[in-house]
Structure 1
Amino acid sequence: MEYQLIDADGHYYEPDDCFTRHIEARFKAETVRVERRPGDDLGRIFLRGGRTFMSVMPGDYASAPGALEGLFVGGVADGFTHREVINAKDHPEFTERGARLALMDEQGVEASLLLPTMGVAVENDMRDDVELTYASLRAFNRWLEEDWGYGDDGRIFAVPMLSLLDPGHAMTELLRVIGAGARLVHLCPGPTGGRSPADPVFDPFWDTVSEAGIPVVFHTSNSGYQHFYGKLWSEDPANPSHKQSPLQWALCNTERPLVDTLTALTLHNLFGRHPKVRVLSIENGSNWLRHLMKTVDKAAALGRRGPMIGGRLPDRPSEALAEHLWICPFPEDDVHDLLGLLGDEHVLFGSDYPHPEGLREPRDYIPRLDGCPPEVARKVLRGNTAGLLGLRDHAPVGA
């Protein structure tokens, strides 16, 4: 390679104290905590004395990076059977900053976004308590700043978690993480507290990220669909993450929350009110985009006489969506089709490393761009993400 990669979908495995290390004293007994029994390697996750959607620490019993790739590429229908089982504690590159940087050097990765593993699965379980939710997210983000950082070195860009559960609290933590150096922020896909994320009540939030040049990431998360949607279809909302049914995977846990979110952002006219906002979809795939773009245009025409929460829509809302959206497709998705639909400036490479459903190593993505002009491949593999992070896209090595 003439240049190093910039990975838009990297992960860490959290330590037991990621929520408790910096939690305020009055929330310590209620926030997310991990309990371990003598002689048992599995840490159980508790919130307010009860188990959470993700019931055990995922790094304690995980498949190796890329171990499940064949499930998605070859259509092997045996579910999330663990292969090549590892414990993240035996792999410091999955849990420690210094070791991860050394591994990135070996992998030819200049920089990487780093997103939660367990952290994206807990917000919905505490949304009935606003104060606990924001205390927990503050504590998690402070751990993140301490252990991984927000990209001051130009290499590891950890993404803090925010919530729109309460507009005032959301603004307070947004301003705090921006002040701490965050280059991106994460929101859980789906509605929050009975509101669309594009509800005008959140305009101060979107104004702030727009003016600060902070992209907003929607990464696959526990959006709570198993509670307010799955149970309408005879499904048990209490099923933990590793026992979700096939219908729950289809209706609640794949791309549906993300597609609903992008539909709401578009048809509630977020992009008309905030023309500089940038939205990233990471680890939600991309095969849904063509249908979504047709859907929002048709819906805007059919609903033109109805109320418009965010103001009057353009004739083709799909064009506004495409202008403000960047997508990191799954490794098994047709990246060439996505490039033709969204344009080569808005497609991002992501390895999902070290998760088992991702790639064994980031460079394994390169053959998926065979047939692309070299300048297009370079945009996908580094240039587009570099632009979102405010990094220079350096000239090729030896140029």
Structure 2
Amino acid sequence: MTPDTLSDTAPQVATMGYRAIDADGHYYEPHDAFTRHLESRFSNRALRVEVSSKDGLGRLFYGDKKLGMMKVTQTDYTGAPGSRADFFQGLIDDEEGWHQSEVISAHDHPAMMNRDARIALMDRQGIEATLLFPTVGVAVEHEMHDDVDALYAGLRAFNRWLEDDWGYGADGRIFGAPMMSLVDPEQGCAELERVLRAGARILHMKRGPVYGASIAHPSRDRFWAMVQEADIPLAFHIGDAGYHELWGTQWGEEPRPPVQYTSPFQVYLASTAMEDTIANLILNNLFDRFPKLRILSVENGSEWAKGLTKRMNKAAFQTRGQAGLGGPVTCRPADVLRQNFYICPFFEEDPVELAELIGADKVLFGSDWPHPEGLAEPLDFADKLIAHGDGAMTRRIMRSNMAKMIGLAA
């Protein structure tokens, strides 16, 4: 049951006069998320969690290979919500850099792993609805892409688990985002068709190339046609885009470092994955072919947006008449960015500045709860907007933009 009055929730709700819609929420996966619904014929090729008898912590394995992005599963060992927020805002000078502090196990916090508990917490936080993205799940596609059939079996199993434990937003509260992949267009389209039948209202895909191919290549147009026909937004969320192995090794870097042990150059290199993905989609004319697509950039920040628009416009201008994978560029890329993309800035960035660049109707609020680098209190995101004093812009960013995409009242 929701609180009786707006004053029963976060203080920003009383100021704004409405509850918010969070475009960047997370769960922590149970150990069987990839195996509970795994088809039996893939039992010997399962992505799985193995719990160590020494420390009691789970680690992700595929066959004999331990997956590299996470030293241990974050479900078992992570920081408390918002515990690293001050570090990312530059409010503390931590000589150790990125590490977990205020360590918790998600198993001890029902709202991180249980739907009913999460909804009760959302009521107190002033959140009417949230999109939910993986925590562990963002680390798997790259490391399994060589075994395509097993990869898709794992994704199908994961999405069925998501349907079980969180759902796709039938009640208007929690909108789980099933994981899509275009490594194999045929299998990608089959899983898209299945999750659409199951009621999915938002999709999630890994950033970056698909191992020698572009997701915007016309050979993958059937997938995009289905997305456009379904009128469903697709989000690219931060995760393992494969850049460490694909590009970092060309500079002498390690191919699969745990996130806590990435080098400065690896961090820099991986941070370009969202920009590259946007540029690839636009400069390969995906939106000429499918002009009604809505693409979300979630937990990728936004400081790159201004420079990206300039670089794309210049690339299109300099290559007029030259055909890329999708033919010659006929658009002004900056206009496509403003028309088809929605960006969720980091809380430490300036949402007003981003709104001035791409339009307030294309900026989204995201808390990243319950991750340590996110916000302990999600609606603290609204403070800069409230201080700016533009109530209409605040409502668009904190509620209306996302509400329209998932079928809620704006």
TM-score bracket for the superposition, by shorter chain length: over 0.9
The one of 346, 350, 356 equivalent to 2:372 is 356
Deviation of residue 32 (structure 1)? Answer: 1.3
Contact residue 132 and residue 175 of structure 2 kept, 8 A = yes
Deviation of residue 315 (structure 1)? Answer: 4.6
Please tell me the root mean square deviation across aligned C-alpha atoms, in Å. Answer: 1.2
Q: Give distance in 1, aligned partners of 2:331 and 2:300.
A: 27
The residue that corresponds to 2:130 in the other structure is 112
Q: How does 1:132-211 map to 2 (within 5 A)?
A: 132-211=150-229
Q: Does 2:264 align with 1:250?
A: no
The residue that corresponds to 2:10 in the other structure is none
Q: Does 2:147 align with 1:129?
A: yes
After TM superposition, the structure 1 stretch with the greater mean CA deviation from structure 2, 265-274 or 236-245, is: 236-245
Q: Identity of paired residues, percent?
A: 49
Q: Give distance in 2, aligned partners of 1:202 and 1:343.
A: 30
Helix, strand or coil at the partner of 1:23: coil
After TM superposition, the structure 1 stretch with the greater mean CA deviation from structure 2, 49-58 or 322-331, is: 49-58
Q: Give distance in 2, aligned partners of 1:320 and 1:170.
A: 25
Helix, strand or coil at the partner of 1:356: coil
Q: Give distance in 2, aligned partners of 1:227 and 1:82.
A: 24
The residue that corresponds to 2:78 in the other structure is 62
Deviation of residue 37 (structure 1)? Answer: 2.8
Q: Deviations 1:47-103 (Å, cap 9, x if unpaired)?
A: 112100223111211111111111111163532222211110110000000100010
Q: Give distance in 2, aligned partners of 1:368 and 1:196.
A: 38
| Letter aligned with residue 403 of structure 2 | A
| Letter aligned with residue 106 of structure 2 | A
Q: Deviations 1:94-149 (Å, cap 9, x if unpaired)?
A: 00001000100111110000000000111100101110110000000000000000
Q: Does 2:401 align with 1:388?
A: no
Q: Does 2:334 align with 1:318?
A: yes
Helix, strand or coil at the partner of 1:59: coil
The one of 31, 39, 51 equivalent to 2:46 is 31
After TM superposition, the structure 1 stretch with the greater mean CA deviation from structure 2, 9-18 or 225-234, is: 225-234
After TM superposition, the structure 1 stretch with the greater mean CA deviation from structure 2, 188-197 or 137-146, is: 188-197
Deviation of residue 241 (structure 1)? Answer: 2.5
Helix, strand or coil at the partner of 2:362: coil
Q: Give distance in 2, aligned partners of 1:174 and 1:247.
A: 35
Q: Give distance in 1, aligned partners of 2:327 and 2:334.
A: 16
The residue that corresponds to 2:11 in the other structure is none
Deviation of residue 296 (structure 1)? Answer: 0.6
Helix, strand or coil at the partner of 2:328: coil
Q: Give distance in 1, aligned partners of 2:115 and 2:337.
A: 35
Deviation of residue 237 (structure 1)? Answer: 0.8
Deviation of residue 240 (structure 1)? Answer: 2.4
Contact residue 30 and residue 49 of structure 1 kept, 8 A = no
Helix, strand or coil at the partner of 1:168: helix
Q: Does 2:106 align with 1:88?
A: yes
Q: Give distance in 1, aligned partners of 2:66 and 2:287.
A: 39
Q: Give distance in 2, aligned partners of 1:238 and 1:214.
A: 33
Q: Across the two proteins, how many residue pairs are aligned to each other?
A: 391
- TM-score normalised by the chain length of structure 1: 0.96
Contact residue 46 and residue 55 of structure 1 kept, 8 A = no
Contact residue 271 and residue 321 of structure 1 kept, 8 A = no
Q: Deviations 1:299-358 (Å, cap 9, x if unpaired)?
A: 001112422221332352210121000001100111111000010111000000000101
Q: Deviations 1:271-323 (Å, cap 9, x if unpaired)?
A: 11101100000000000000000011100011124222213323522101210
The one of 346, 360, 378 equivalent to 2:395 is 378
| Letter aligned with residue 162 of structure 2 | L
The one of 272, 281, 284 equivalent to 2:300 is 284
Deviation of residue 39 (structure 1)? Answer: 5.6
Q: Give distance in 1, aligned partners of 2:46 and 2:338.
A: 38
- Structure 2 gap segments, 5+ residues each: 1-13
| Letter aligned with residue 371 of structure 1 | H
Q: Give distance in 1, aligned partners of 2:384 and 2:330.
A: 35
Q: Does 2:352 align with 1:333?
A: no
Q: Give distance in 2, aligned partners of 1:84 and 1:101.
A: 24
- TM-score normalised by the chain length of structure 2: 0.93
The residue that corresponds to 1:240 in the other structure is 258
